[in-house]
Structure 1
Amino acid sequence: MIVGDSISNGYEGDHTWRHRFWQWSQQQQWPAKFVGPLTGTAKPEDPHPPVAPAPRKRVQPEASEPDPHQFTGVYAKDVDAAFSNGGSAHYAMWGRQLGQDVKTIKPVMDGLKAKQQLPDVLLVELGFNDIGWRGAGVGLVDTMRHFINQARAANPNVAIALANVPHRTTLGGANPQLPQRITDYNAALAKATPTWDTDTSPVALVDLDGALGCDPNATTCATTYDGLHPNPLGEYRIAAAFGAVLHKKFGIGSESPRVPGTVPDRQIGPPTGLAFDGTQQGVTVTWPKVFGAHAYDVQWRDITTDKEAAWHGADRGPWPATSFNRWDQSWQFNNEPYDGHTYQVRVRATSGGLKSPWSEPVSGVAHPSTAGPPTTLTVNAGTGWVDLAWTPPTGPHTDTINRYALWAYDEDTPTVVSRVIGYKPSARTAHVTGLTPGHHYRVFMCTWNAAGEGKPRIANTVVPN
């Protein structure tokens, strides 16, 4: 059973390294049956309109496990039929942490045992999300030890091929401690792994970091499409790293996997069939999903008075404009759209650094049916808090307001971190706590209705003391 995170799960349209490893197992005539509760890749998000922030004090219970429907994405169109129709079982999920799987690996293995599918070999690729997003370091080695103990509780004789954590390319000024934390963890893991190895339950280290070979100071990596997740070459490299360990350490197969000399990169085509709707937030564009696209870049321009106006990017800082096949123009950063103006939009599909050509543009006239902002908005600051009071708007569509949204921008953080808080339509005041004393906060308030989010009322900048 392959146990991992997004590196092993893959995204719709990928072959995945799991497929390349499966191919090697078939070539070796190794009677391997791949098991696990999942079978697919990560599925692209379904298109949907903008979502209003939940009302304050409404706490949504956190799901104990992700919805398995998220992992029903299909593979590249040329994968072996025997793989996609029965050989692709796994236990790898996008965003997964080792700390989560410590709690679930035994129940998952017990469930498979009840189906006569108890794994006798685990291929484990976990840890990046713990280090990258949770700040873990050398202490994660102890978490891995607990994971192994839990797996052995389900099968005392399980063999485990254990990958270290790959470095990713630079994130610039974001997460500057990440490279050293990965280096320190990998060194500690290499030292600990031999102490976990037993005659009945062998454990061997897989050098995933070396297989991908990404430089944390570089901006690109030949084995990935985004600095971390494997491209077609990276998929072969990871499969070869695991296969070599299984062959050399566990005596499986007649030879280690080979990496082809050349591996063509996959291609994605441009979006087609764009449709414009000006009646919601003012500019809504939809299009059929592009197979293999992870996200979409969007450019727009106001051509009301200039048919050759410059294009504006709709990306959100380092993130693409949208992760699914719909884009709704927001007031943020530009205060667009304006009622009665004519807008033109074009889209391209992306997969990390891989980008399609731009689509043919689509045009339309904006007639938003959102409501206006509060008529007045006052803000007073205290010790780590602000108090707000507002009066409801009047005019078109204000009888359909179903939410107020408060935006609090911390202007003293490098990326202008914002908080968005929802309030019921009957609310007229708010008390916001947890703000950083001495920081400058720009406070906006918008209204929401079924059409989306209207433009904001902007209060004066305040500084909690």
Structure 2
Amino acid sequence: MTIGSAGEHTWRYRLWQHLRETYGGPFRIVGPREALYDKATDSADSYEYADPDFPRAHLAGWGEGWHHLTPLIADAVRVHKPDVLLVSLGLIDLGFYTDAEQTAENVRLFVAEARRSSPRVAIALLPVIPNVRAETDPPFAAQVIRFNELLAKTVADLDEPRSPLLLTSPPASYDIHHDTYDGTHPNANGEHKIAGAFADSLYEAWDLGERYGAETD
């Protein structure tokens, strides 16, 4: 949902556009990766962004979650020196790798590892948005609900003034039948709504930018 596929804009792009128009100072998007996922090659080896001028640095991976990125976050923060991490993870973990409790433990480790490299890093976390599987798999749907509860508790437990944690509000109007192209991955509408969820929370909690305007192309 974050890395995006060849030919897409991604919600990262939508948020970048928004901040360019509303944030009062200079900013950079940083990270060790740049590629999109290419469905034709089944690998993250495409650079065919819908807008080739987008500064495309990130630390996202197709099929990767807390389980995969927690071991990478300390080095990424140390090398690229982000002030704010925007994190949307968990769906793939709950679907294939870890239950809600184990996933929440990985969140705690992720935060600890990020702070090990930057004790003042701020982290905004998006709750898991249930996908189409949750409509037909009640145990999976229950795990999503449970993880989001644990995520809220984890944010409350680990928040501290010098390294604030922010639980963003999920996009209230998000509809997987309207805002995704396959029941999971966002289309243009979904990209705007995820970007808006981050943008509104950043503005409300930390006075960064302004409220998000556009939700659709």
TM-score (norm 2): 0.91
- The equivalent residue for 1:27 is 21
Q: Distance in 2 between matches of 1:186 and 1:210?
A: 15
1:74 is displaced (CA, Å) by: 1.1
Are 1:38 and 2:24 matched, yes or no? no
Q: Distance in 1 between matches of 2:33 and 2:116?
A: 22
- The equivalent residue for 1:99 is 67
Equivalent position SS for 1:33:
coil
**Code of the aligned partner of 2:160:** T
- The equivalent residue for 2:2 is 8
Given that residues 103 and 147 in structure 2 are in contact (C-alpha distance below 8 angstroms), is that contact kept between their aligned partners in structure 1?
Answer: yes
Equivalent position SS for 1:177:
helix
Q: Distance in 2 between matches of 1:139 and 1:209?
A: 25
| C-alpha spacing 1:196/1:71, structure 2 compared with 1 (3 Å) | farther
Q: Which runs of 5+ in 1 are unaligned?
A: 1-6, 48-68, 113-117, 215-220, 264-465
Question: Could you say which structure has the higher helix fraction?
Answer: 2
Are 1:126 and 2:89 matched, yes or no? yes
Q: Which runs of 5+ in 2 are unaligned?
A: none
**Code of the aligned partner of 1:104:** L
1:134 is displaced (CA, Å) by: 1.8
1:211 is displaced (CA, Å) by: 5.5
Are 1:239 and 2:201 matched, yes or no? no
Equivalent position SS for 1:226:
coil
Given that residues 159 and 201 in structure 1 are in contact (C-alpha distance below 8 angstroms), is that contact kept between their aligned partners in structure 2?
Answer: yes
**Code of the aligned partner of 1:224:** T
- The equivalent residue for 1:137 is 100
Q: Distance in 1 between matches of 2:66 and 2:133?
A: 23
Given that residues 71 and 93 in structure 1 are in contact (C-alpha distance below 8 angstroms), is that contact kept between their aligned partners in structure 2?
Answer: no
Identity %: 32
Paired residues in the alignment total 216
1:379-436 per-position Cα deviation (integer Å, ceiling 9, x unaligned): xxxxxxxxxxxxxxxxxxxxxxxxxxxxxxxxxxxxxxxxxxxxxxxxxxxxxxxxxx
1:129 is displaced (CA, Å) by: 0.8
- The equivalent residue for 2:140 is 178
Bigger RCO of structures 1 and 2 (CA < 8 A, at least 6 apart):
2
Q: For the aligned residues, what is the CA RMSD?
A: 2.0
| C-alpha spacing 1:82/1:73, structure 2 compared with 1 (3 Å) | closer
Given that residues 97 and 127 in structure 1 are in contact (C-alpha distance below 8 angstroms), is that contact kept between their aligned partners in structure 2?
Answer: yes
- The equivalent residue for 1:115 is none
What is the aligned counterpart of 1:250 among 178, 182, 206?
206
| C-alpha spacing 1:135/1:100, structure 2 compared with 1 (3 Å) | closer
Question: Could you say which structure has the higher strand fraction?
Answer: 1
- The equivalent residue for 2:127 is 164
Equivalent position SS for 1:23:
helix
- The equivalent residue for 1:18 is 12
Q: Distance in 1 between matches of 2:201 and 2:31?
A: 21
**Code of the aligned partner of 2:63:** G
Given that residues 70 and 106 in structure 2 are in contact (C-alpha distance below 8 angstroms), is that contact kept between their aligned partners in structure 1?
Answer: yes
- The equivalent residue for 1:153 is 116
